[in-house]
Structure 1
Amino acid sequence: MSSKHVVFDIVGTLVSYDRIFDAIETRLGDRLRAEGIKPRLLGYTWTESAEREYTNLSLARSYVPFGQVFRALFYRMLWSAGIEEPRTFASPEDLEYIMEEYNSLELRPGAAECVQKLRDAGFTFWGFTASDVKTVAGYFEKAGVQMPVENLLSCDDAGVGKPDLGSYKPLLEKLRSESGGKTPWFAAAHMWDVSAARKAGFKGAWCGVWEKEPLTELFGEMDVLDDTLVGMADKIIAHQASS
């Protein structure tokens, strides 16, 4: 059994949101621009608002799976963007098309190489996601990246969403016990996610593929920072070797 473990956030980190943005462009792009709304910005605010409401529901002990939250917010986001009649502006079929693309997200460039580098260096690779395991497993399968389903864990399992520290601690304790007390890694492209995992007891690695700016003045210092997934993997390996 490996004494080295690394846990990755999946959606937003290894998996890109681009298919959501492309779906909004395909179905609503011209209509949105006619209203002065950039399709990608709508997609970004929809994603970020869904993360906020998902987290708030979890904190209130009213956990709802992320995909349900994301779907439910669609027409609210159109209203917030300035569309006076959202349900006239966009049809249920528009929403279904976007949700189908959400279920078909793709791995980022460098994601497969990142995973393989860490495995080649002796790390056991885990995924910890706010999405459901079946959907996430499909992302890896479609990309041809082998990922044992038993190494994929979802916040849905315990009904506690990230970044609640209680969502990280059961996995942290499990991996510590399997590695003779050694501290496992947590890696993500969301600084709030890595920061919380680090506070829970993980070593933290952040990649700038999604947020660009680390904002350590808000979230604190990390053990590893890099602009790319492959670079982050190299730094995790080097840090582990030197410790």
Structure 2
Amino acid sequence: MASSKNVVFDIVGTLVSYDHLYNAIDRRLGDKLRAEGIKPWLLGCAWMEAAEREYTNLSLSGRYRPYAVVFEALFYRVLTFGGIENPRSFATPEDLAYIMEEYQSLTLRPGAAECVQKLRDAGFTVWAFTAADIGRVSGYFQKAGVELPAENLLSCDTAGVGKPDLAAYTPVLERLTAEHEGKIPWFAAAHMWDVSSARCAGFKGAYCTVLEKEPLTELFGDMDVIDDTLPGMADKIIAHQASTQ
């Protein structure tokens, strides 16, 4: 079936980088962490990965909680996993509040604005589908000066079903397919678990290695498009679309 000129992006981790958060952890706790043999960047990655897992587990068991709530709650547990014996003495509530405040100020990746503009110039409509809250994600785009209409910004919070549950993708897929004469929209992400799940639900899949570096197609399957940069991924989506018209 033909694809449509609609691209649904994952946002945090894909168009938006985690770097600001990880740098905030370093500023606040970096010296203390390194004294314990823990790289601040690795702690941030472990924290993010743990939160994604528990967010998904809660959703699958019918106990959906917003991602930021899960993320904040897991901080001291992740410190424990890092070998900190008394995590609540090691990091104060004020430390956690500072880091969570900085989490509101993530920035777009280099090339993200160019990626979106390339697609729009080629006649594509850009959508966002995020596990984050809509207000926070909207703020990321506003600060970067990239327009994203409110009606094109969708969150898992609305239905209370988290990605990668296929039931999270299906309403978005069905809506865009119905609105565009049965043509299949694209889903684009830098998380292979996310875009591969969207592809299982019925989307065309575009993956960028900017975050994970290793596609691991032996685990997640093939993609319609893979590129190392966001603008390159946009170019390949455009070329793929043109070749199938």
Identity of aligned residues (%): 74
Partner of 2:89: 88
Partner of 2:166: 165
3-state SS of 2:226 partner: strand
Moved over 4 A (4+): none
Aligned counterparts of 2:90 and 2:220: Cα–Cα separation in 1: 39
3-state SS of 2:184 partner: coil
Q: Structure 1 residue 176: deviation in Å?
A: 0.7
Aligned counterparts of 1:44 and 1:56: Cα–Cα separation in 2: 18
Partner of 1:136: 137
Structure 2 unmatched runs, 5+: none
- What is the root-mean-square deviation in Å for CA atoms of aligned residues? 0.6
Partner of 1:193: 194
3-state SS of 1:25 partner: helix
Q: Structure 1 residue 155: deviation in Å?
A: 0.2
How many residue pairs match? The answer is: 241
Q: Structure 1 residue 55: deviation in Å?
A: 0.3
Q: Structure 1 residue 177: deviation in Å?
A: 1.1
Partner of 2:214: 213
Partner of 1:155: 156
Write out per-residue CA displacement over residues 95-135 of structure 1, whole angstroms, 9 at most, x where no aligned residue. Answer: 01110111110000000000000011111100000000000
Partner of 1:23: 24
Structure 1 unmatched runs, 5+: none
Report whether the alignment pairs 1:125 with 2:141: no
> 1:34-113 alignment to 2 at 5 Å?
34-113=35-114
TM-score (norm 2): 0.98
Partner of 2:237: 236
3-state SS of 1:7 partner: strand
Q: Structure 1 residue 149: deviation in Å?
A: 1.0
Report whether the alignment pairs 1:13 with 2:18: no
3-state SS of 1:64 partner: coil
TM-score (norm 1): 0.98
3-state SS of 1:13 partner: coil
